[in-house]
Amino acid sequence: MAMNRRRFAFVSRILALAAACLLLVGLPPEAAARAAAGTRGPVQLEFWCSSNPYEIEFARVVVDKWNSARSDIKVKLQPLPASRSTEEALLAAIAARTTPDVCANIYPGVVTQFVAAGGLYRMDSLPDFASFMRERLPDGILEQYRSSDGHYYQAPWKSNPLMLAYNAGMLRAAGVDPASLATYSGFLAAAAKLTRDTNRDGRTDQWMIYLNIEPIWWQRFFDFYTLYAAASGGRTLIESNRAAFNNSAGVAVMQFLSDLFRRGYAPKSAFPGDVFLQQKVATVITGPFAMPFYESMKRRLMVSAAGRCGPMATPRTSGSSRRASTRRKPGNS
């Protein structure tokens, strides 16, 4: 898919980078462009967005604006097909050669797989890609998305700061100051007060935190990786193509998680529904994608918890940098 400077700039401005994120093509870009040039009528691009209802709503507004402004290039919006993960859906599409032209919901860490599968368009083949993107991004951000072969197959358009959501009513009832949750020791001390058997049937039914126990790789964004970034001053798990978390910060995080499960402060089973809204747990690690849902449920939170839901930085060791205690979830490109 070839784009000249004017078209690329227009796409970026109208779609606010949502369509300048990652190009996936069933044909080589040059072949697709030639095929499009030889057809009559408008070119149609297929755009896959996240299946999150709030992102679908955003994408629909953006696509409608684009389509009303352009008659020569039309965008067809399609939420990502149902699958256990975005990555599985896209790998299946690459194998079947049914990929979209644009996708805006990809974890940057798996882009190498897609490049190896021959499913991505090299975006820096556009002559002004790098200069145009650097005008829109802070220094150093774009470089983080360069692939190991030196080229760009993705561009960032959003990131999700992950924080600790807490039920202020539950903390208040247990006599816990939210500020005490900032360190591992304070968090564990609070957990000892909050974890209990509320109906006195001999079984714990209220816990400090919910940590998903499913062995799914992206779930680790919401426990180990978030905590590790906070404890290590913002380091990532991979550095120079090598695992880099076997260090004091990584050990401290694993010890903290072990303590939570070993002492019974986190449930070792899954529950139907949202355990945070059900008042089964006092805290959960989440991101801005959960805020609209919590907002829609605030009446239930206020009535049943006699309090409110608030965010704060994730716990860290006492010597960790406060600046790094809020992790930016990588993605999406």
Q: Which CATH architecture has domain 160-329?
A: 3-Layer(aba) Sandwich (3.40)
CA distance 68 to 74: 9
Predicted pLDDT at 60: 96
Predicted pLDDT at 91: 83
Predicted pLDDT at 20: 38
The residue to which tokens 């499009």 are assigned: 36
5-145 and 160-329 in the same fold: yes
CA distance 190 to 171: 8
Q: What angle (nearest 5°) sits at the alpha carbon of residue 153, between those of residues 160 and 4?
A: 110
Predicted pLDDT at 83: 73
CA distance 41 to 39: 7
Predicted pLDDT at 333: 59
Structure tokens at 243: 């695992």
Q: What is the pLDDT of residues 85-100, one digit of tens each?
A: 788 888 888 888 888 9
Instruction: Provide the residue ranges of all domains of the chain, joining segments of one domain with +.
Output: 5-145, 160-329
Cis peptide before 199 (omega within 30 of 0): no
Structure tokens at 144: 């983080």
Residue among 222, 218, 286 at smallest CA distance from 253:
222
CA distance 259 to 114: 38
Predicted pLDDT at 94: 84
Question: pLDDT (tens digit, 0 to 9) for every residue of the chain, 333 residues total?
Answer: 334 434 333 333 333 333 334 444 433 444 444 444 555 667 899 999 988 888 899 999 999 999 999 989 999 999 988 777 788 888 888 888 888 999 988 888 788 888 888 888 899 998 899 888 888 888 788 888 888 889 999 988 887 788 899 998 999 999 999 999 999 999 999 999 999 999 999 999 999 999 999 888 888 888 999 999 999 988 888 888 789 999 999 999 999 999 999 999 999 988 888 899 888 999 999 988 888 888 777 766 544 443 455 666 778 776 554 443 444 554 555
Long-range contacts of 188-196 (CB under 8 A, 24+ apart): 188/256, 188/259, 188/260, 188/263, 188/265, 191/260, 191/263, 191/265, 192/263, 192/265, 194/170, 194/265, 194/282, 195/263, 195/264, 195/265
CATH for 5-145, options being 1.10.10, 3.30.70, 3.40.190, 3.40.50:
3.40.190
Give yes or no for a contact between 230 and 325, defined as CB atoms under 8 angstroms apart.
Answer: yes
Q: Which residues contact 307 (CB under 8 A, 6 or more apart)?
A: 167, 168, 169, 170, 171, 172, 301
Q: Which residues contact 162 (CB under 8 A, 6 or more apart)?
A: 221, 222, 226, 285, 286, 287, 314, 326, 327, 328, 329
